[in-house]
């Protein structure tokens, strides 16, 4: 890792943080250290970072705001790449939003509404970045990224830059081709439509009010823990299994929304994983339905 660090320093790619604890970089506030955390200053620096890592055969893990992610207590071996301010730009061209991979999805939905463009109201409460949203095909309120994405610019694990269209990304429920094609989304082109500013503002406000009322967003959490099975909701199955308030260590099934696990203050990744197992087992024994995690579990086991 020392030779990698030396090459990255020589290339002046941005901030380099060896043995950096990752808990502060996740919404769950859980996670051990990365061997190296790199925060490239911009797109050129990101490309150079990936090329150096590829040359050394060092794996990397991209991270945005760290939502929808559970980092192992042992941390992440290799390099974690966090998109910096240089990859958080936004501009509108007609009905298109051209936005950097590190841009906040919530902020984007608000900015689009103020610009008179509709299509992003569903994203008003999703606490992630645009890049993560493309990767996971993030969605809510009956819509998702596949409805609005025209194309995405991606740095592949070799450092090559490619642009993939909507069909190329093979979107499905909380899935894209990027799960099998390692890379980092640097830019997304979103195709929106002209809308009524007042109506959009009202929809965003309504969605936000509903989330604040029904989800424990004031506490460290990672969003929905499990994917919704066909024709039902994970939260309903978990609640009917009597698991609201169930705790393992510092991890607790939210009493507000049963598909959220909250960190009560000192939860570990192991606490969360053991609680997830309790939830999966209870639901399966009661219904025969296997809950599939929506959160990404990363790092050394």
Which H or E element spans position 12? none
Q: Report which DSSP code applies to 293.
A: B
H helix runs in 63-196, sequence order: 105-114, 130-136
CA-CA distance, 69 to 66, in Å (whole number)?
Answer: 6
Known catalytic residue at 224:
yes
Report which of 25, 32, 123 is spatially closest to residue 65, judged by C-alpha positions: 25
H helix runs in 41-104, sequence order: 43-56
CA-CA distance, 92 to 64, in Å (whole number)?
Answer: 22
CA-CA distance, 144 to 185, in Å (whole number)?
Answer: 17
Q: Which residues contact 67 (CB under 8 A, 6 or more apart)?
A: 26, 27, 126, 127, 128, 132, 222, 223
Known catalytic residue at 199:
no
Contact 221, 259 (CB under 8 A): no
What does 116-165 look like in DSSP terms, one character per residue?
A: TEES-GGGTT--SBHHHHHHHT-EETTEEGGGTEEEEEEEETTS-EEEEE
Q: Report which DSSP code applies to 126.
A: -
Q: Which residues contact 275 (CB under 8 A, 6 or more apart)?
A: 246, 247, 248, 251, 252, 253, 261
Which residue(s) pair with 82 in the sheet?
A: 63
Q: Catalytic one among 51, 65, 174, 246?
A: 174
Report which of 270, 288, 213 is spatially closest to residue 74, judged by C-alpha positions: 270
CA-CA distance, 240 to 292, in Å (whole number)?
Answer: 17
Q: Catalytic one among 51, 224, 246, 252?
A: 224
Known catalytic residue at 294:
yes
Active-site residue set: 174, 224, 294
């Amino acid at each position: 890792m020392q030779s990698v660090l030396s090459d990255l320093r020589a290339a002046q790619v941005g901030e380099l943080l060896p043995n950096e604890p990752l808990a502060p970089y996740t919404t769950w506030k859980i996670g051990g250290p990365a061997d190296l955390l790199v925060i490239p200053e911009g797109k050129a620096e990101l490309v150079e970072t990936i090329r150096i890592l590829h040359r050394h055969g060092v794996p990397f893990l991209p991270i945005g705001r760290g939502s929808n992610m559970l980092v192992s207590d042992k941390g992440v071996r290799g390099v974690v790449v966090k998109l910096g301010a240089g990859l958080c730009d936004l501009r509108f061209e007609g009905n298109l939003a051209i936005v950097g991979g590190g841009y906040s999805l919530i902020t984007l939905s608000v900015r689009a509404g103020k610009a008179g463009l509709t299509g992003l109201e569903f994203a008003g409460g999703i606490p992630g970045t645009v890049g993560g949203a493309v990767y996971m095909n993030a969605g809510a309120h009956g819509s998702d990224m596949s409805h609005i994405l025209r194309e995405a610019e991606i740095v592949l694990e070799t450092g090559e830059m490619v642009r993939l269209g909507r069909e190329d990304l093979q979107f499905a429920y909380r899935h894209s081709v990027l799960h099998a094609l390692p890379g980092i989304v640097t830019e997304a082109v979103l195709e929106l439509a002209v809308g009524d500013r007042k109506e959009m503002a009202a929809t965003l406000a309504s969605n936000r009010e509903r989330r604040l009322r029904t989800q424990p967003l004031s506490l460290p959490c990672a969003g929905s823990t499990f994917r919704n099975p066909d024709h039902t909701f994970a939260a309903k199955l978990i609640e009917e299994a009597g698991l609201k308030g169930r705790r393992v260590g510092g991890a607790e099934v939210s009493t507000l929304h049963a598909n959220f696990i909250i960190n009560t203050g000192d939860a570990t990744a192991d606490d969360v994983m053991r609680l997830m197992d309790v939830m999966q087992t209870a639901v399966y024994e009661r219904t025969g339905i296997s809950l599939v995690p929506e959160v990404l579990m990363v790092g050394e086991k």
